Amino acid sequence: MEKIGKQISTLYRSPTPESVYAYSPGVCVLPSGRIIATMDLGGPGVLELDGVKGTIGKIQVKGKIFVSDDCGESFRFVTDTPMQHARPFVSGDSVYVLGHAGDLTIVRSDDDGETWTEPVKLTEGQSWHQAPCNVHYAKGNVYLVMERKLDKECRTWPVSILAPVLMRAKCGDDLTKVENWTFASEICCRDTVELDKSKYFGMPFYKSLETVTNMLCREPSKRHFPPPGWLETNVVQFTDPRHIWYDPDGKTFHLFMRAHTGGTNMAAVIKVVENDDGSMTTMTENAPSGEPLIYLPFPGGEMKFHILWDEQTKLFWLVSTQPTDSMVRPETLDSDRYDLPNNERQRLVLYYSRNCVDWIFAGLVDKGETQKQARHYASMAIIGDDLIILSRSGDKDALSAHNTNMITVHKVKNFRSLIY
């Protein structure tokens, strides 16, 4: 298949791919046309890097901010930040980068990304998570999601106890001040999802780490299944009055999350409702029958995805990772395949949809030559008639499909012409 995307530049390449890994690309386009790109570095080699770093427990992380004035053909490094899982976004006349170093942390620029404030903590003594997913604007406000860990005693991958928290702020306010943010109430998968109600869907697909000691494959330390959960949340609002979940008052927002079930092509969905007093309540959604609805068919929903609303076409656009062989036995996987079979990261694909449920395949953005040469964890933005997509990528020097060594920049030209 011919690719619809073209790699136009490389934002970052690790100088030591065996110990410094390239993570979490984020992107936004300023009113001036300048592109702001963010990413972070992880791995044991970060300890040896110069410059500002953040500390999460015993782990050190390092965020980076870049700018481009030629539509992504080249980028210029601007500054480091002590954050991971950060994303850039515009609010009023300023641009912000919000991430975390355990606590939520934010920086602001008032000159199109040339200079940045000192990092400001929005929380104290908490533990947060997320990925650079989308940002939504409505009613003069900016909305985005970060995820808080509700159980500090969790000793495995904590997706079962992550609470996606919708955050709202008025555009133009100083968003480095926590009092200018409103945080929605919190629910996590462990306390919300009754697994016996999803048994006909085979969820979870594998037994979790809490119930088995002998893992399912040759490398038990690498191929295990933590308890089911959700993570890496996008926020959408349905404005089509024909949509089943349309709210004529404009107070309902739906959170689409990567579903960690051991299977593929399912996303988890909950919603947030704004109350008359301005507070926001997080809750589950229902089907028209009244039955609770947590999971929806969703291409690439087992991996981090990015949803983007295009006002011109009134369509949602989705970039996600395409699975191809999730039904193979774990013990048959090649050594360069990361984790369990559902955790495939090689093919980056584009879709569009009217309703965030029925997705139409638009094309293959890019594909790694081998399993460890990943194309995944992408973020995207619209620039004119084109999509600019940043991918967490690997080449032959990458340590693994997860611990990649590059952030690559791709362009899908005239993306609206892909509609059929």
Mean pLDDT calculated for residue range 210-231: 64
pLDDT of 29 strictly over 90: yes
b vs e for 404-413, b when ≥16 Cβ sit within 10 Å of the residue's Cβ? bbbbbbbbbe
Give me the domains of the chain, ranges plus CATH numbers.
Answer: 6-418 (2.120.10.10)
Sign of CA dihedral 383, 88, 133, 409: positive
* Whole-angstrom distance, CA of residue 305 vs CA of residue 348: 10
Instruction: Say whether pLDDT at 143 is over 50.
Output: yes
Q: What is the pLDDT of residues 304-342, one digit of tens each?
A: 999 999 999 999 999 999 999 999 999 899 888 999 999
Please determine, for residue 160, whether its predicted confidence score (pLDDT) is greater than 90.
yes
Residue 135 contacts residue 146 (beta carbons within 8 Å): no
Provide the sign of the torsion angle of the four alpha carbons 257, 158, 222, 200, taken in this order.
Answer: negative
pLDDT at 166 > cutoff 70:
yes
Reported as a pLDDT band with limits 50, 70 and 90, residue 222 is low
Residue 217, pLDDT above cutoff 50: no
Reported as a pLDDT band with limits 50, 70 and 90, residue 207 is: confident
pLDDT tens sequence across 107-136: 999 999 999 999 999 999 999 999 999 999
pLDDT grade, residue 224 (50/70/90)?
A: confident
The whole-chain average pLDDT of the chain stands at 94
DSSP state letters, 150-212: S-TT--S-GGGGEEEEEEEEETTS-TTSGGGEEE-----HHHH--GGGGGGGTSSSS--TTT-
- CA atoms of 303 and 359, how far apart (whole Å): 16
Residue 223: pLDDT band by 50, 70, 90 thresholds?
Answer: confident
Average pLDDT over residues 214-230: 66
In contact, 408 and 7? CB cutoff 8 Å: yes
Greater confidence, 273 or 331? Answer: 273
pLDDT, mean of residues 265-274: 98
pTM: 0.96
For 55-91, the pLDDT digits (tens) are 998 899 999 999 999 999 999 999 999 999 999 999 9
Q: Over 50: is that where the pLDDT of 139 sits?
A: yes
Residue 221: pLDDT band (50, 70, 90) is low
First-to-last alpha carbon distance for the chain, in angstroms, is 17
Give residue 219's pLDDT. 53
Taking the C-alpha atoms of residue 135 and residue 140, their distance in angstroms, rounded to an integer, is 13
pLDDT of 216 higher than 80: no
Confidence of residue 198 (pLDDT cuts 50, 70, 90): confident
Share of the chain above pLDDT 90, in %: 89
pLDDT value at residue 220: 45
